[in-house]
Amino acid sequence: MRKITAVFLLLFAFAHTIYGKGVTVQKKIVKQSVVMQIDSSKVTVRKFDTAAINTYLKQPEFNYHESDKPTSWWDRFWDWLWHYLDSLFSKKDKSMPESPGLPVKYILIALLVGLAIWFVIKLAGIDNIFNRRAKKVDLLQTELVENINEISFNEQIEKAVMAGNYRLAVRFLYLQCLKQLNDAKLIHWQIEKTNTAYLNELTNSGQKQHFKLLTRQFEYVWYGGFVIDKPLYEEINTLFTNFNKTLA
Amino acid sequence: MEDEIFEQRTDLGRLSAAVEQIKATLAKIIVGQHDVIELIIAGILADGHILIEGVPGVAKTLTAKLVAKAIDAQYSRIQFTPDLMPSDVLGTSVFSPKTSEFEFRRGPIFGNIVLIDEINRSPAKTQSALFEVMEERQVTIDGQTYKMQEPFIVLATQNPVEQEGTYRLPEAQLDRFLFKIEIKYPTLEEEISIITQQHQQNPSDQLSQIAPVLSIQDVIALRQQVKSLHVEPKLLEFVAKIIHETRNNKSLYLGGSPRASLAIINAAKAIAAIKGRDFITPDDIILVAQPVLRHRIMITPDKEMEGVTPDEVITQIIQKIEVPR
């Protein structure tokens, strides 16, 4: 019973709201008198100038007639291509849906344009423009890498001494020493290893001490830029010769 | 033996003695960490700022404080917090009722040795306040430029960025640090030694044991000496190749800057001087390459996911380049 009463009350409230709104929505209509204006001016009929039209028609810009045959070989080629493609993709039967020739034409154009851009980029050598990372530059390794197995040490040392370039001669003495250590399998020669790395590879303490001394001489001369004369070179040369004898 | 053949061009006796003295002084309190201490000294001699990174409790701040105490210079400390403002670091203009004018009140950055503790606890806004002072050794506020007194060294400590409450430092700021030195956990023997040595001592008593070893003038003179060391052109090329390779390496999306090239050379010079040589060798360059580059390069996300570290990439890069000989 209570439920029914509640439903009635709700319906009453709803109906009252709608009715109330209906009342408030009503607007007052004000009637206004309108005076009609009549256009009584005289109309002059103008006609097209036939002579002017004929003049225009004689101008090439107004010639809409397409010639049946392309003028140049390039136009003829494209005309042939499109006709050929149309014949490939067009439907012979007109009752069938529209031919896919047109989309194919645009796809081919896009492909050709893309190909042309790719060629230009490749030719200009700017193919890294789409990559954030710069083009990898080869290190100057080829310029500097020396294979100690291919150097004729005695010849090079002699040349350097003759030229009075004792600094270079010490360098070749040291490289020769490294080669002999490598040949004796006491060290493993690799371009990226430092002198200290080779020193640490030696296990014989006597050899290690001697090689450490030679390394220091080389480093002072080669990295330190110390000036070296003939007597000094002779002294260093003796140290290297003595060490090489121990390896023989 | 080399002394018998080659006469030293530069007298590095004073420098070597000073370095040994600092090492001995610090060894009284710091157990182990010899490489770290040597790198910090090298950083000071190379006129650089140093970032020390490590997990909490590995004596980063203590090491920095001890190094600062070993130099008789104006020392200041700034604790970086998330709410720190640039003016709290640099200083600010304050109205003076006496003179009815604004007067510049210098911030804690004005000092010879500035210890910035937990530098990565402050956001980028505060970090940017350090850009000018770290690079140009000057502060510009209200159109007025204030030059820093020489030497000016920033010793900063930080926890790894993975730790809670830290921000990643801006690349521009990281590039201004000469070294990022990583402090690892001590070995078992070192740990035992630390406990044995320090369990009954008060930290403030430990610091009072440290007496200054170098004056400001000493530091300036030693820096001049380090600057004048000989560098073979082929070694400059070697450094340039290393840096160039960082810019082209597939594992990296940010390589080293020209400032990094200069940093390697300057740091290598300092290391050579500490070793008693007045010229640098490839070994010196390779030794400093990791602390100079590890905070400057950035690993690509995929390599980072694979667990590749900056140090590994630097090692790989160096192994690709021929040592000039």
Residue B93 belongs to domain with CATH number: 3.40.50.300
- Closest alpha carbon within chain A to B232: A223
Verify whether the Cβ–Cβ distance A220 to B241 is below 8 Å. Answer: no
Separation between Cα atoms, residue B275 and residue A165, nearest integer Å? 29
Minimum distance, in Å, between the CA of residue B120 and any CA atom of chain A? 29
Q: What is the pLDDT of residue B269?
A: 95
Q: Say if residue B295 is in the same domain as residue B189.
A: no
Indicate the SS3 state at residue B177.
Answer: strand
* Inter-chain Cβ pairs, chain A and chain B, closer than 8 A: 77
- What is the pLDDT confidence band of residue A98, given thresholds at 50, 70 and 90? low
Residue B322 has pLDDT above 60, yes or no: yes
Q: What is the pLDDT of residue B213?
A: 87
Out of A140, A192, A236, whose CB is closest to B323? A192
- Using the Cβ of A137 and the Cβ atoms of chain B, whether some distance falls under 8 Å is answered with yes
- Using the Cβ of B35 and the Cβ atoms of chain A, whether some distance falls under 8 Å is answered with no
Separation between Cα atoms, residue B47 and residue B154, nearest integer Å? 10
Q: What is the mean pLDDT of chain B?
A: 89
Structure tokens at A178: 């490294």
Separation between Cα atoms, residue B119 and residue B127, nearest integer Å? 8
Which is more confident, B182 or A35?
B182
- Using the Cβ of B321 and the Cβ atoms of chain A, whether some distance falls under 8 Å is answered with yes
Which is more confident, A74 or B292?
B292
Contacts of B8 in chain A (CB under 8 A): none
Report the candidate in B102, B78, B73 with the shortest Cα–Cα distance to residue B90.
Answer: B78
Instruction: For residue A194, give the DSSP letter.
Output: -
Q: Say if residue B170 is in the same domain as residue B233.
A: no
Separation between Cα atoms, residue B295 and residue B169, nearest integer Å? 10
Separation between Cα atoms, residue A243 and residue A207, nearest integer Å? 8
Residue A113 has pLDDT above 50, yes or no: yes
Residue A36 near residue A45, CB atoms below 8 Å: no
Q: What is the pTM of this model?
A: 0.71
Out of A133, A195, A223, whose CB is closest to B232? A223
Q: Say if residue B4 is in the same domain as residue B146.
A: yes
How many domains, in total, are found in chain B?
A: 2
- Using the Cβ of A133 and the Cβ atoms of chain B, whether some distance falls under 8 Å is answered with yes
Domain end marker among B170, B205, B228: B228
Q: What is the pLDDT of residue A125?
A: 64
Q: Say if residue B253 is in the same domain as residue B172.
A: no
Minimum distance, in Å, between the CA of residue A218 and any CA atom of chain B? 9
Domain hosting residue B292, numbered range:
229-325
ipTM for the whole complex: 0.81
Q: Say if residue B280 is in the same domain as residue B241.
A: yes
% pLDDT > 70, chain B: 98
Q: Say if residue B29 is in the same domain as residue B120.
A: yes
Q: Say if residue B263 is in the same domain as residue B277.
A: yes
Q: Say if residue B193 is in the same domain as residue B234.
A: no
Separation between Cα atoms, residue B74 and residue B109, nearest integer Å? 11
Residue B109 inside a domain? The answer is yes
- Using the Cβ of A215 and the Cβ atoms of chain B, whether some distance falls under 8 Å is answered with no
Residue A158 has pLDDT above 70, yes or no: yes
What average pLDDT does the segment B220-224 reach?
Answer: 93
- What is the pLDDT confidence band of residue A46, given thresholds at 50, 70 and 90? confident
Verify whether the Cβ–Cβ distance A140 to B241 is below 8 Å. Answer: yes
- What is the pLDDT confidence band of residue B2, given thresholds at 50, 70 and 90? very low
Residue B251 inside a domain? The answer is yes
Residue A105 near residue A116, CB atoms below 8 Å: no
Of the listed ranges A3-7, A30-34, B42-46, the one predicted with least confidence? A30-34
Residue B202 inside a domain? The answer is no
% pLDDT > 90, chain B: 57
Q: Is B91 left (phi over 0), alpha (psi -120 to 50) or beta?
A: left
Residue B238 inside a domain? The answer is yes
- What is the pLDDT confidence band of residue B78, given thresholds at 50, 70 and 90? very high
Q: What are phi and psi of B156, to 5 degrees?
A: -115, 145
What average pLDDT does the segment B138-167 reach?
Answer: 88
Q: Say if residue B221 is in the same domain as residue B246.
A: no
Verify whether the Cβ–Cβ distance B277 to A224 is below 8 Å. Answer: yes
Beta-bridge partners for B91: B106
The H or E element spanning position A80 is: helix A73-89
Q: Write out the DSSP string of A151-179.
A: --HHHHHHHHHHTT-HHHHHHHHHHHHHH
Which CATH number covers residue B242? 1.10.8.80
Q: What is the pLDDT of residue B33?
A: 83
Domain end marker among B208, B228, B248: B228
Q: What is the pLDDT of residue A146?
A: 66
Separation between Cα atoms, residue B24 and residue B26, nearest integer Å? 6
Residue B272 inside a domain? The answer is yes
Out of B5, B237, B321, whose CB is closest to A232? B5
Q: Say if residue B171 is in the same domain as residue B251.
A: no
% pLDDT > 90, chain A: 19
Q: Say if residue B243 is in the same domain as residue B222.
A: no
Q: Say if residue B274 is in the same domain as residue B128.
A: no
CA distances from A64 to A25, A53, A57, A58 (A): 63, 15, 10, 11
What average pLDDT does the segment B149-155 reach?
Answer: 91
Predicted confidence (pLDDT) per residue in B223-270, tens digit: 999 999 999 999 999 999 999 999 999 999 999 999 999 999 999 999
Q: What is the pLDDT of residue A27?
A: 52
CB atoms within 10 A of CB B136: 12
Which is more confident, A117 or A29?
A117
